[in-house]
Amino acid sequence: MSTAVNRQYFPSTDGLNICYRDYGAENPGTPMICLPGLTRNSRDFDELAQRFSRRRRVVTIDFRGRGYSDYDPDWQNYHPSTYVSDIWALLALLNIDKVIVIGTSLGGLCAMAMAAEHRERIAGIIMNDIGPEINPAGIARIQDYTGRLDPVANWAAAAQQTKAIYGEWLPGFSEGDFLRMARRAYREIESDVPRLDFDPDIGRAIREVGAQKGDPWQYFAALRDVPVILFWGVLSDILTMDIIDKMKAEKPDLEVVPVAERGHVPLLDEPECLSAIAAFIAKVA
C-alpha cells in the first residue's frame, strides 16, 4: 500500500506556507486531489488516499487556516476564491495539468469554482454532500458553532465534543469511532492538550463573508459537460432533496449516490462511496 510522503509545503502567492501530502506520485494516470470541508483538513482523506494511490497519484491539502498550513492574518481571505488560487499554485508546483477532484462540502464548492475557471483541467468531480445551494437551517447550524466551541481538556472530552457536533448525523457510531474522528480534527499543538486544528477566525468568515462569493449556480452551470457524481447523506441538513432536484434539472446526467445513516457529511469510507468512487475513476480517467 502506498503511504504519504512526509508533510510538504509550498508558498501561496501571498506568502503563506500551505501543507499538502502526496501519495503514489510515481503512478501513471490522471491524479486525484482531495479538498476538505470548512473546518476539516487533509487527515480526513488519509485512508482514502492510501487506498486509491495504489494505482494513481493522490494529493491532499490543508487549506490555509487548517491543519499544518499557516493561518491567514486577514480572516477575510477565508473563502473559496482564495483556496482555489492556492490549489492552482499547488498543481503548478507538482506539474499536474488535469485532475479528478474530490470535494467534501466546502471542497465541493471549490471544485465547482475550479471547473468554472479551467474546465479543460478537470477530468471529473466527486462532490460530497454539497451543491450550489445550501439549506438555510444547515448553514445556520454551522455558523452558530464554528469557532465558538469551548476548549477541551483531553482526548476523551474531544471525542465527546465531536459526538455532540456530529452524533445526530452519524447514528450507530461508537465512542471509539468518535475518538478516531476527533483525532482528525484536533491536534496537540503547544502541549499535550488537544485543540481544534483550525483558525477560529474561519467562524467569523463564514458568518460575515458567507460560504461562497459570486453565484454558485453559475459555477454549477460550468459542470454541464463535466462528469460529476454527488454523494448525498440522506440525513443531511445542508443538501436536501429539493436542492438535488434543482441540480438534476440543470444537469440531467448528474449521478447521485444516497448514503444511508449519514448526514453532513458521509465519511467516504462507506461501501457505497468506495465502490462509486472506484467506478467513477475508471470511467473518467
Domains of the chain: 8-138+213-284 (3.40.50.1820)
- Percent helix / strand / coil, the chain, rounded to 5: 40, 20, 40
Contact 134, 265 (CB under 8 A): no
- Residue 76 DSSP one-character state: G
> In the beta sheet, which residues pair with residue 22?
59
Measured between alpha carbons, how far is 198 from 77 in angstroms, rounded to an integer?
14
Contact 37, 107 (CB under 8 A): yes
Q: Which three cell numbers mark 228?
A: 460529476
CA atoms within 13 A on the CB side of 78: 29
Measured between alpha carbons, how far is 12 from 100 in angstroms, rounded to an integer?
22
Cell match 497519484: residue?
A: 57
- Residue 227 DSSP one-character state: -
Contact 55, 127 (CB under 8 A): no
Measured between alpha carbons, how far is 70 from 185 in angstroms, rounded to an integer?
16
Three-state secondary-structure class, residue 232: strand
Burial 158-181 (b: 16+ CB within 10 A, else e): bbbbbbebbeebbeebeeebbbeb
Q: What are phi and psi of 84, to 5 degrees?
A: -65, -40
Contact 228, 255 (CB under 8 A): yes
Q: Which of 162, 152, 156 is nearest to 191 (CA)?
A: 152
pLDDT, position 5: 60
How far, in Å, are 206, 265, 271, 282 from residue 60 at the CA level? 23, 18, 21, 20
pLDDT, position 209: 78
Burial 196-208 (b: 16+ CB within 10 A, else e): bbbbebbbbbbee
Q: Which of 14, 20, 228 is nearest to 114 (CA)?
A: 228
Instruction: Supply the pTM of this predicted model.
Output: 0.95
> In the beta sheet, which residues pair with residue 59?
22, 33
pLDDT tens track, the chain, 285 positions: 344 468 999 999 999 999 999 999 999 999 999 999 999 999 999 999 999 999 999 999 999 999 999 999 999 999 999 999 999 999 999 999 999 999 999 999 999 999 999 999 999 999 999 999 999 999 999 999 999 999 999 999 999 999 999 999 999 999 999 999 999 999 998 788 999 999 999 999 999 876 666 789 999 999 999 999 999 999 999 999 999 999 999 999 999 999 999 999 999 999 999 999 999 999 998
How far, in Å, are 89, 179, 261, 266 from residue 203 at the CA level? 25, 23, 27, 22
